Amino acid sequence: MPILYLIGGENVFKRSAREVNERAFQNAGKPLNVLVFSWARASFDNSYKKRKKLVDYFMSLGADSISFVDFSDSNEVIAKKMADSNLVYLTGGLPTILLERLKKMSVDHLLHDYCGVIVGRSAGALALCRKCVITCRSSLKSKIIDGLGLVNITLKVHYEPEKGDTLKTLSKKDTIYALPEGSAIIYNIGVCSFIGNVYLFQEGQMRTLQNVDANSSQTFESK
């Protein structure tokens, strides 16, 4: 079972979730071989605009090697790349595109069986959950869709407090965890811990689970 780091969002240029990533990279151990899935956008690895910025960022965090998965790679090649890594990183973008591509290439099964650390940022975090809250671009309305189910929660990323009424309504049917940018949920063998502000929406009500710095955490049993 992998250790999951779910990040609510990050400005990679400002490295606004550096403390979370530092903890994840330390957790993965040494030598640190990072494998990146930048599949959440219409363009793929070679045209991923933040690629060099991401590589520089990860090297500063102590990565010994950084590889990218091409969508054209076979399942066997992807499995080999994952076996040679100890940290998998899923970038942000469009969760529906990311989920479709991960399933099409059977990466969802590989992620379930992975034994290292998996970091999901924004769309990457949503994809790892049982369900995720997304906003439809055409109508600007939010809805809940199925994720890969590596952790049994419903998640909203890029949470802004002024938009809490929508989540209160949705939470009448499903408990929702909401992460602002820079905050994170760490999931390890059935137990979650939090970094930064994490909000719980349940039965139409909202409460703050934690408001701490990146060096603190509290745990609870995940349902």
Task: Tell me the per-residue pLDDT of 144-190, one tens digit each, with 9 for 90 and over.
Answer: 999 999 999 999 999 998 878 999 999 999 999 999 999 999 999 88
Which residue range is the domain that position 79 belongs to? 3-221
**The pair of three-digit structure tokens given for residue 117, joined into one six-digit string:** 């650390």
DSSP assignment of the chain, as one string?
--EEEEES---TTTTTTHHHHHHHHHHH-SS-EEEEE--SSSS-GGG-TTHHHHHHHHHHTT-SEEEE--TTS-HHHHHHHHHT-SEEEE--S-HHHHHHHHHHTTHHHHHHH--SEEEEETHHHHHHEEEEEEE-TTT--EEEEE---SEEEEEE-S--GGGHHHHHHHTTTS-EEE--TT-EEEEETTEEEEES-EEEEETTEEEEEE---TT---EEE--
Q: What is the pLDDT of residues 115-127, one digit of tens each?
A: 999 999 999 999 9
**Angle 65-180-93 from CA coordinates, rounded to 5°:** 55
- Mean pLDDT lowest for which of 39-43, 77-81, 83-87? 39-43
pLDDT of residue 162: 81
Triad 181, 87, 156: Cα angle to 5°: 30
The per-residue pLDDT for range 191-220, each reduced to its tens digit, is 889 999 999 999 999 999 864 433 334 443
Number of domain units in the chain? 1
> What is the pLDDT at residue 210?
61
Bond from prior residue into 2 cis (ω within 30 degrees of 0):
no
**Residue 74: which residues within 8 A CB-CB, separation 6 or more?**
none
Q: What is the CATH number of the domain that holds 17?
A: 3.40.50.880
pLDDT at 96 over 90: yes
- Per-residue pLDDT, 98: 96
pLDDT tens, position by position, 4-57: 999 999 998 899 999 999 999 999 999 999 999 999 987 654 555 678 889 999
